[in-house]
Amino acid sequence: MGELKLDLNRLKAERIAKGWDQAEFAHKLGMSRTSYSKRENGLVNISIKELAKMMSVLGFNKDKISIFFTQSVPKRKLKRKVK
């Protein structure tokens, strides 16, 4: 089974769709622009509590959390035929 990964591009797209720059969204979240930017760019992990707050500010219910995740599919190893 694959691994779930937070889709930071989706988070950014939802922020932009609201017409907010990083500073405005960060203010709504109660953090500095720099702190938010580090999270959006994957330099700092986003906690569950922070993700819940981001979803709330963006107007998403908890049952929509799956749209912020992608699932990686493990690559299959090819077996070489021995001649």
Kindly report the CATH number assigned to the domain that includes residue 12: 1.10.260.40
- The residue assigned the tokens 């090819």 is 78
Domain range for 22 is 4-60
Average pLDDT, whole number, for the chain? 89
Query: pLDDT digits over 47-77, tens only?
Result: 999 999 999 999 998 888 888 888 877 776 6
A 10 A CB-CB count for 70 gives 16
Q: Note whether residue 83 is domain-resident.
A: no
Q: Note whether residue 19 is domain-resident.
A: yes
Q: Give residue 41's region: left, alpha or beta (phi > 0; psi -120 to 50).
A: alpha
For the residues 24-49, what does the mean pLDDT come to? 97
Q: Does the pLDDT value for residue 44 go beyond 60? A: yes
DSSP state of 61: -
User: Is-above-0.95 flag for pTM?
Assistant: no
- Total domains in the chain come to 1
